[in-house]
Amino acid sequence: MVVAVAKALEEGGDTIVCASTGNTSASAAAYGARCGLSTVIVVPSKYVARGKLAQAITYGARIMLIDGGFDDALRIVRELAAKHPVVLVNSVNPYRLEGQKTAAFEIIEDLGVAPDHLFIPVGNAGNITAYWMGFQEAHRMEWIGAPPKMMGFEAEGAAAIVKGHPIETPDTVASAIRVGNPASWKKAVKARDESGGTIDSVTDDEILEAYTMMAREEGIFCEPASAASVAGLLKLARGGMRLNQSKVVCVITGSGLKDPDTAVTIEPAFMDEYPTDTGAIEAAMGLA
Ligand SMILES: N[C@@H](CCOP(=O)(O)O)C(=O)O
């Protein structure tokens, strides 16, 4: 987002717009606030996680809620940007991808090499496209040997690329990837094919299993869409894919605090009411 906003400033823009399932709008609103730009976000009224909306509200963005989904919102902001002097900062803006691709460089820097496989959630497909650009560029510059296989995972209820057609009413607990017609569809398929990877889907149950497992076994609290990468890894490993000799990276795209409403539905929750009394707490803990 920082590159797209920097270019908007350089070009003399004063208004940035985006469609969002929540994260892009939170990010645009933050950079817009920092740079004194007016930020307009068009988002589905029902499906943006509370933490993400809270960010956009607090940063002072103008929030336009629509009764449609992300794909409708993206169509609207594309039409706006074609007609008016506003800068569209979704990942259809090429500067977004130029900034996002540097995440691949960070992985290479941290590992000292490229991973063999990169597991990544796929919604609007900007991320898989940008990471692949970064790995390809690193390969051309001879920073790495072979680039990783790109292993993208859509949510089953929004799996347009896997099913081969847009999904009219996408539906998934992973609201960040609730996208029925990904803008970077063709580029994601290219990343898959050029890298020898895959684009597959995971169910909401698989996503929530990975989400809970990461929290309870690793202490990592991510938003549900982020867990699609780990759910994909578990799915392929259970299906017999041998990865024990491979260097695997799973991209986790957002904090769990952004979606508190999903978090509080997770079972079992070890939460009960007790009298305000040390003895009662001792008894419940088996310490009495
Ligand atoms: N999950 C995204 C959807 C928009 O994607 P973008 O790549 O066009 O910014 C979001 O957070 O809104």
Q: What is the mean pLDDT of residues 200-217?
A: 98
**pLDDT over 70 for what percent of the chain?**
100
Enter the tokens of residue 165: 């057609």
Q: Where are the alpha helices (DSSP H) in the chain?
A: 2-10, 23-34, 50-59, 70-83, 94-100, 102-111, 126-140, 160-163, 185-195, 204-213, 227-238, 260-263, 278-284
pLDDT per residue over 227-260, tens digit each?
999 999 999 999 999 999 999 999 999 999 999 9
Q: Is the CB of 226 under 6 A from ligand 1?
A: no
Enter the tokens of residue 173: 């607990």
Q: What pLDDT shows up at residue 281?
A: 97
Q: What is the mean pLDDT of the chain?
A: 97
Confidence of residue 288 (pLDDT cuts 50, 70, 90): confident
Q: Is the CB of 24 under 6 A from ligand 1?
A: yes
Span from the CA of 20 to the centroid of ligand 1 (angstroms): 5
Residue 136 pLDDT greater than 90, yes or no: yes
Residue 16 pLDDT greater than 90, yes or no: yes
Q: Extract long-range pairs of 32-37: CB within 8 Å, 24+ residues apart.
A: 32/5, 32/59, 32/61, 33/59, 33/60, 33/61, 35/5, 35/9, 37/5, 37/8, 37/9, 37/13
CB contact at 8 A, 215 and 237? no
pLDDT per residue over 32-89, tens digit each?
999 999 999 999 999 899 999 999 999 999 999 999 999 999 999 999 999 999 999 9
pLDDT per residue over 140-159, tens digit each?
999 999 999 999 999 999 99
Residue 170 pLDDT greater than 90, yes or no: yes
Question: Which atom of ligand 1 is closest in space to residue 225's alpha carbon?
Answer: 1
Span from the CA of 272 to the centroid of ligand 1 (angstroms): 38
